[in-house]
Amino acid sequence: MSANNTNRIYLDNASTTRIDPRVLAEMMPYLTDDYGNASSLHYLGTSAKQSINKARKTISRCINAKAEEIVFTSSGTEANNLALKGIAFANREKGNHIIVSAIEHDCILNTCHWLETQGFFITYIPVDNTGFIDLDFLEKCINKKTILVSMMHANNEIGTINPIDKIGLLCKERNVYFHTDACQSFGKLPVDVVKENIDLLTINSHKIYGPKGAGALYIKDKTNIQALLHGGGQENNLRSSTENIPAIMGFAKAAELCFDDFDNEVIHLLNLRNKIIKRLSKDIEGIYFNGDLSQRLPNNINFCIKGLEGEGIRLLLLMDEDGVDLSAGSACSSNSGGNPSHVLQAIGLNQFEARGSVRISLGRFNTQEETDIFPDILINNIKKLKSIFS
């Protein structure tokens, strides 16, 4: 079944994005004529190999890495698994302690929970009420057995941006690997793995108007890491399996488009975001915003409304009926079993409040017109709910 979404207002770009037509055009030849396996020695094979290496160069330039430091994966989840498990198992002799923040994406936290069953100790660093960790506390948590610190660049729910340069420096001084999950920030915030002392960095394609099925892990030269997939030795022996060339080529094109027009894209997002925040602040009584209002992703808004605690899903469904796609703090994932978000609870919201939160995440294809119409629809639905519940 394919959804008819031509007239919908899509405000869930942190979840995934519409593919850019220029990305699709880049991918098409690899789905049709250029179908070679990059491990084959004939013409189609070597051509595929050259294409992947071109994509590797493009991605590496976006983060100031070397091409050979990029390992393509199938997703951000896979790259995060490779980073954490790969470092954990390769460095077991050195230590078995890993530090992460309490508001990491589930694919980091659940990997950590699994690593705990394998004899690793994990410290989950708490955050303050806007989502920041305390750097002094982080420093105190690093001990002789610590092998890795993993802290996301920007949070997927509340948009808070971590000071990764400071965390990177601290890890370098303490001789501990530093990994950052940059799935939400890639293409929206500048990243420089050299300047920021990053040893491992995760990115993915479907958050930047690229196809699903492609991600990458930057692994600094000489990092001691083990593969999770064993087989034909692709990706420098770190990720065996035949490369998904159409997706990789689309990913690289998507990254190139983001970085070619970086400033304008960010300005577009900031304009739309600030306009919405202004309008909602003016016209919705009892609204409060979650996360930090300055150190946050340019496309993220997360809010709750006093008097409508617990009603995030109901609001989401009303908006859905009216053709607007949003995300609720209790339903960031339909796999969460309806549990309220761990991120919102970590910043001090109780379960009830967390169930009332709504996330708006803007993207390249959102227009000024949509940001004029959307608040009217939201305000109307909030009035409906308030008339029932207050």
Ligand X SMILES: Cc1ncc(COP(=O)(O)O)c(C=O)c1O
Candidates 52-60, 169-177, 180-188, 261-269; binding stretch for ligand X (CB under 6 A): 180-188
Interface residue with ligand X among 81, 111, 123, 184 (CB under 6 A) is: 184
Query: Shortest gap between Cβ of 81 and ligand X (angstroms)?
Result: 9
Interface residue with ligand X among 58, 60, 77, 327 (CB under 6 A) is: 77
Candidates 71-79, 124-132, 164-172, 379-387; binding stretch for ligand X (CB under 6 A): 71-79
Helix (H, G, I), strand (E, B) or coil at 41: coil
Does 329 interact with ligand X (rule: CB under 6 A)? Answer: no
- Nearer of residues 159 and 168 to ligand X, judged by Cβ: 159
The Cβ-side half-sphere exposure at 87, using a 13 Å CA radius, reads 30
- Nearer of residues 142 and 358 to ligand X, judged by Cβ: 358
Interface residue with ligand X among 183, 238, 249, 331 (CB under 6 A) is: 183
Give the whole-angstrom CA distance, residue 328 versus residue 314: 9
How many residues make contact with ligand X (CB under 6 A)? 13
Give the whole-angstrom CA distance, residue 323 versus residue 7: 7
Query: Shortest gap between Cβ of 207 and ligand X (angstroms)?
Result: 7
**Residue list 199-218, contact with ligand X (CB under 6 A):** 204, 215
Interface residue with ligand X among 12, 20, 26, 181 (CB under 6 A) is: 181
Query: Shortest gap between Cβ of 7 and ligand X (angstroms)?
Result: 26
**Residue list 125-154, contact with ligand X (CB under 6 A):** 152
Identify the residue whose tokens are 């699994």.
114
Secondary structure letter of residue 1 according to DSSP: -
Give the whole-angstrom CA distance, residue 232 versus residue 39: 9
Q: Which amino acid is at 387?
A: S
Candidates 20-28, 72-80, 139-147, 245-253; binding stretch for ligand X (CB under 6 A): 72-80
Longest dimension (CA), the chain: 71
Tell me if residue 304 is catalytic. Answer: no
Interface residue with ligand X among 105, 179, 188, 355 (CB under 6 A) is: 105
Enzyme catalytic residues: 332
Give the interface with ligand X as residue ranges (CB under 6 A).
Answer: 75-77, 80, 105, 107, 152, 156, 181, 183-184, 204, 215
